Structure 1
Amino acid sequence: MATLAADPAEVATPKHWTEGNPTDADLAHIPGEGGWPIVGNTFTMLADPHAFSRRMYEKYGKVYRNRAFGGWNVAMIGAEANELMLFDKGKIFSSEQGWGPVLDQLFPRGLMLIDFDHHRADRRALSIAFKPEPMRHYAGALNRGIAKRMAEWGEGDLQFYPAIKQLTLDLAADSFLGLPFGPEADAINEAFVNMVQASVAPVRKPLPFTLMKKGVDSRAFLVDYFTGETHRIRAEGGGQDMFSQFATAEYEDGSQMPVDEVVDHMNFLMMAAHDTITSSATSLVYLLAKNPEWQDKLRQELTAITGGEGKDLAYDQLGAPELTEMAFKEALRHIPPVPSMPRRALKSFEYAGYEIPAGAHVGINIHMVHHMEEYWDNPYSFDPMRFTPDKVKARHKYAWVPFGGGAHMCLGLHFAYMQIKILMAHMLTRYRIEISEGYDPAWQAWPIPKPKDGLKITLKRL
């Protein structure tokens, strides 16, 4: 059984992540470009990832190679590529070896960083946390926390992104850990923020005074905390919070998940949940402010369902706000919280007429496919009616994949829908969301989208 290293800095990159990388000659038949000496296209790509990808696609087509971050990556564009990689019928692609080089120092053995039988067993065990009774408990906690924060925000100007990020962290501490808002929750929240920032830090070693050092230290703090809490819950019993569900998770044979793996899964889930929900809530609020006619439609729908301001959207009502769900899906299409997704090929395969060799680092571009006219009419307009059942049925199943797909589809997607619907139910029945005329904030596109200025909105009391 694997054991958890005391210091994540001591975890060496597994050799099988880098052994067998294709040579330049192995990839020479794939069109593309290597960019500058040493750095490749890294800085060009980071300056505007979407524009870079669009240019490469228009120049080279649905398969191209790009040298960045120290090696070659093969991009595969299109809904068919999404299906090939995410459904992965032939067990060609490793998620562990795709994400691992970026996330393993901080979030080892999270669900995205394990493959095949191990992934299936852990996913089945952890799914207990998303069964109806725990979800009913989370719905109550979300309604209480969001209603209280809406009242505290009050009328006036607000930087939405930092405000919703803090709220999402607080809600995660409550729903996921069963902690009241307060100093203990704040310390845990700060640790998660440090780890997320470190995951994309340019300096990849935990040298003094670096983001990676802060991230590694924060991981050590959370490992100690979650380890102690897992033992306590198993000895004394826990509550209905998500961590209690994880701590008591069992495999099909009745054995409990090892403590160190519970800790790793909890660390990863907290990171994945709060950052992606923060991003998607921000994009939805921005698009509703920009399209006030849709904001009005959602407000009318939610008022009719809940009864108006101050009323909860109960767990049993979550299926009712259909327009709200379609608007959220459209926001996820416009600004998917995970804009691209990496894998590593465990064996050679073919896509769009090209043979891609075993060992190649490959990826799909979710953001681009979400904006391709091949699948979407007027892709840059905001139109939630794209998600009526008949239109969904007529479209390629993998043209819209904000939650991934296949075996690695986001385990918490129903929690995300629930949190966004409850947020909208309390926010839109209390406030009108406005932005200045012509306001068009620049967005940081990678790794998780966010408005560079924090998204300046004004809340007007209804």
Structure 2
Amino acid sequence: MATLAETPVDATETGGFTPKHWAERLPDGALDHIPGDDGWPMVGNTFTMLADPHGFVGKMIAEHGNVFRNTAFGGTVVNLIGADANELVLFDRQKMFSSEQGWGPILDQLFPRGLMLMDFDHHRADRKALSIAFKPAPMRHYAGALNRGISKAVAGWGGSEMEFYPAIKQLTLDLAADSFIGIPWGPEADRINEAFVYMVQASVAPIRKPLPFTLMRKGVKGREYLVDYFTQETRRRREEGGGQDMFSQFATATREDGSLLPVDEVVDHMNFLMMAAHDTITSSATTLIWLLAKHPEWQERLRAEITAVTGGPDADGNPRPLAYEDLGKLDLTEMAFKESLRIMPPVPSTPRRALKDFEYEGYKIPAGTPVGINTHYVHHMAEHWPEPEKFDPMRFTPEQVKARHKYAWVPFGGGAHMCLGLHFAYMQIKVLMAQVLQRYEIQIAEGYEPDWKAWPIPQPKDGLRVTFKSL
């Protein structure tokens, strides 16, 4: 089977633009009319961006406006900034942008053929087949597994100050082993988790070839391990029948004609969705815990809502599980989560590649141009978000949402590539909040502000030092 790098884009879908692969470059000077900064020879702006991605974008917008070019990771990108740009690129009415060719230079060695690296008909077909894993029956199963796993872990968090990020990362990986793969926690799950960690870290490694001793080499070796593991497991589950876990659902998913997805595609989808789920949820859960620790009045409001829904702790003082049927009743909890996603979106920016010539804000941008939108910057634009640095979950009342540009808030993407697992993310966060807030008050030291590594997926550099004080 051809790899993504060998597969041409369908000319009927792209207005005639058919590069042999996403690495084909534009002619010299094709983007000189776009204002910007190409940085240093060879490396461009790569290290400047990695050091302070949000500061870099802010500086570029201040100097050049909402359309600018920069060079990083070996290529030049045209950035389109604003809610209108988000809508143009994500909704993509005219099929002008390729997600496959946008993410390809970053993820192709590690997560090829994941949903995010597919376009148009192939993407729609596989997305529909995989959506079976997020139907009510399997989601109810995941809810039970999440309640059990989160309750067990959270019970041990009380006491002295701890680093929250590594704790929630380990918990999220363990939950993924249970809910996603259907294997018990233990050495096998640990080896799988290690492989995922290396793959995610390698996605933004400055050295893009898997040379010995490099991070990219570790990532590629991690992928090799997981491909072998998931290939054997897919075949076994098809022969023996699977359970309600996500992997079993994928292994037996069928397309509209009744055919099973090819084994290698199941493997690649599983690799990608495991990465997309556990790292983004780890980041967003950490952000929410940090913001609630800074704003104890919101802890109280969410605790009251959760207690009203669950009935409060049982006779032994243990939090009752959050029933699947009650997830939709936690309105304030969901609003607080949405506000944390606004302040710190787990995917700060999104790449695409133009498949047709187009014009935006007076600039003509040729087919073949890598383009990018910046979710984090738009989430902090005062025209959409008064006092944008303030934590205010009430921004997400139905009235406020209706009055705002639909694409001013896009932490889960939008259009055809809207995150397939967003309801799973909401469920995991609500179960986590139900367990934490019925047991503890979340505290941080006075004046404490963690330093955040902003990209590719935000995380506190010191792990986020918090204390869970028993109620």
Query: Which of the five TM-score ranges fits, normalised by the shorter chain?
Result: over 0.9
SS of alignment partner, residue 272 of structure 1:
helix
Q: 1:60 matched to which residue of 2?
A: 64
| 2:162 maps to which of 158, 165, 174 | 158
* Structure-1 separation of matches of 2:379 and 2:4: 39
Whether the 8 Å CA contact 2:23–2:105 is kept in 1: the answer is no
Q: 1:394 matched to which residue of 2?
A: 403
* Structure-2 separation of matches of 1:220 and 1:44: 32
| 2:282 maps to which of 278, 281, 290 | 278
Whether the 8 Å CA contact 1:99–1:343 is kept in 2: the answer is yes
**Which segment is superposed worse, 273-282 or 347-356?**
347-356
| 2:445 maps to which of 420, 432, 436 | 436
Identity of aligned residues (%): 75
Whether the 8 Å CA contact 1:62–1:76 is kept in 2: the answer is yes
Q: 2:8 matched to which residue of 1?
A: none
Cα drift, residue 189 of structure 1: 1.0
Amino acid of the structure 2 residue aligned with 1:293: E
After superposition, the C-alpha distances for 1:54-91 in whole angstroms (9 at most, x for unaligned) are 11112211111112222211000000000000000111
* Structure-2 separation of matches of 1:41 and 1:145: 43
SS of alignment partner, residue 441 of structure 2:
strand
Amino acid of the structure 2 residue aligned with 1:285: I
SS of alignment partner, residue 342 of structure 1:
strand
Cα drift, residue 289 of structure 1: 0.3
| 1:16 maps to which of 18, 21, 27 | 21
Q: 1:9 matched to which residue of 2?
A: none
Whether the 8 Å CA contact 1:3–1:260 is kept in 2: the answer is no
SS of alignment partner, residue 355 of structure 1:
strand
* Structure-1 separation of matches of 2:361 and 2:402: 24
Q: 1:253 matched to which residue of 2?
A: 257
Q: Does 1:327 align with 2:339?
A: no
Q: Does 1:33 align with 2:42?
A: no
| 2:112 maps to which of 93, 108, 112 | 108
Cα drift, residue 23 of structure 1: 3.4
* Structure-2 separation of matches of 1:203 and 1:18: 16
Q: 1:347 matched to which residue of 2?
A: 356
Q: 1:454 matched to which residue of 2?
A: 463
Whether the 8 Å CA contact 2:4–2:112 is kept in 1: the answer is no
Cα drift, residue 18 of structure 1: 2.2
Q: Does 1:417 align with 2:426?
A: yes
* Structure-2 separation of matches of 1:184 and 1:456: 29
After superposition, the C-alpha distances for 1:128-161 in whole angstroms (9 at most, x for unaligned) are 0000000000000000000000112232211000
Query: How does the TM-score come out when normalised to structure 2?
Result: 0.94
Q: Does 1:232 align with 2:241?
A: no
After superposition, the C-alpha distances for 1:375-422 in whole angstroms (9 at most, x for unaligned) are 111000000000000110000000000000000010000000000000
- Structure 1 runs of 4+ aligned residues shifted over 4 Å read 1-5
Amino acid of the structure 2 residue aligned with 1:333: R
**Which segment is superposed worse, 23-32 or 122-131?**
23-32
| 2:310 maps to which of 306, 309, 318 | 306
**Which segment is superposed worse, 23-32 or 120-129?**
23-32
Question: Cα 1:202–1:319, aligned 2, differ >3 Å: closer, same or farther?
Answer: same
After superposition, the C-alpha distances for 1:89-121 in whole angstroms (9 at most, x for unaligned) are 111101011101111111110001111110000
Cα drift, residue 171 of structure 1: 0.2
| 1:49 maps to which of 43, 50, 53 | 53
**Which segment is superposed worse, 200-209 or 110-119?**
200-209
Q: 2:14 matched to which residue of 1?
A: none
Whether the 8 Å CA contact 1:50–1:368 is kept in 2: the answer is yes
The number of aligned residues is: 453
**Which segment is superposed worse, 409-418 or 52-61?**
52-61
Whether the 8 Å CA contact 1:4–1:260 is kept in 2: the answer is no
* Structure-1 separation of matches of 2:102 and 2:3: 22
Amino acid of the structure 1 residue aligned with 2:68: Y
Q: 1:8 matched to which residue of 2?
A: none
SS of alignment partner, residue 350 of structure 2:
strand
Cα drift, residue 22 of structure 1: 2.6
Structure 1's unaligned 5+ residue stretches are 6-13
- Aligned-CA RMSD value: 1.4
